[in-house]
């Protein structure tokens, strides 16, 4: 049963991807004034079909593996002699009747629509799906290290290194590397206070990250003063 549902899911996903791809070709052809004869999801004999007001036949075929758009004259795209022999009436809506840059747009539109589909899916996923982000919270400071001697303490929250705002541990690593050959001015939240420290040289300080559970993260979010959040334009979305 699991295999059957896997196959069904695969066919649905494939159908959506193919539909979006072929829709790109279709819309570009319509925009360019080229006639579309058939828009098919699947191959083989049509199970269901109908015609729109422009004469395009839309159909669902019996073999649900892909699909296609039949654009008038595209099969003769390399045979301009054959196109030249057509009557004026038959040249109307022909693929070769439009300029080359429009022909290129028709061909490229399918792949472009797939890229747009991927962008929409990933954007929606990151927009609505909660993400775990490791906060720039100090978990441990090695005794007698540069950070220890500068006064950095466990549970400090690093907000800024020089001119770079820090909202997660990855940004902390990058900022630390950029400051590796010079002193680093670090802005820290400690309880209700803002603390500034200077670490030198930067390549010798990298405190260990704290692994916080959800309750601890929520507690930390509550503990950061409101005025501090406004000063650094801190977005609490990085807490989740």
Instruction: Give the active site residues.
Output: 22
Rounded distance, CA 104 to CA 171, Å?
A: 41
Backbone angles phi, psi at 145, to 5 degrees: -80, 175
At 19, list the tokens: 């539909």
Rounded Cα distance between 26 and 71, Å, is 8
Cα(111)–Cα(95) distance, rounded to whole angstroms?
A: 19
Per the CB < 8 A criterion, the answer to whether 127 and 237 are in contact is no
Element (H, E) at 48: strand 36-51
Distances (CA, A) of 171 to 36, 161, 166, 191: 50, 10, 6, 22
CA-to-CA distance for 69 and 42, rounded, in angstroms?
Answer: 11
Residue 137, CA distances (Å) to 64, 131, 168, 208, 226 in order: 52, 17, 9, 9, 18
Residue 139 CB neighbours (<10 A): 13
Cα distance between residue 206 and residue 177, in whole Å = 10
Q: Following CA atoms 6, 11, 12, 18 in sequence, which dihedral angle do they give, to the nearest 10 degrees?
A: 150
């Amino acid at each position: 049963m699991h295999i059957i549902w896997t196959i069904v899911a695969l066919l649905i996903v494939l159908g959506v991807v193919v539909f979006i791809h072929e829709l790109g070709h279709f819309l570009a052809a319509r925009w360019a004034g080229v006639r579309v004869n058939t828009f098919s999801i699947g191959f083989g004999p049509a199970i269901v079909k109908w015609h729109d007001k422009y004469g395009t036949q839309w159909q669902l075929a019996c073999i649900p593996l892909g699909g296609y758009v039949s654009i008038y004259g595209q099969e003769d795209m390399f045979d301009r002699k054959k196109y030249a022999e057509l009557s004026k009436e038959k040249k109307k809506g022909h693929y070769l009747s439009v300029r080359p840059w429009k022909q290129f747009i028709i061909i490229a539109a399918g792949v472009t629509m797939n890229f747009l589909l991927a962008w929409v899916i990933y954007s929606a996923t990151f927009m609505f799906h909660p993400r775990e982000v490791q906060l720039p919270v100090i978990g441990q400071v090695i005794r007698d290290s540069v950070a220890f001697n500068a006064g950095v303490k466990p549970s400090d929250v690093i907000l800024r290194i020089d001119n770079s705002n820090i909202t997660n541990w990855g940004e902390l690593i990058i900022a630390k590397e950029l400051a590796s050959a010079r002193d680093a001015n670090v802005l820290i939240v400690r309880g209700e206070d803002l603390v500034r420290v200077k670490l030198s040289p930067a390549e010798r300080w990298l405190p260990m990250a704290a692994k916080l559970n959800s309750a601890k993260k929520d507690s930390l979010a509550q503990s950061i003063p409101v005025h501090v959040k406004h000063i650094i334009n801190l977005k609490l979305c990085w807490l989740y």
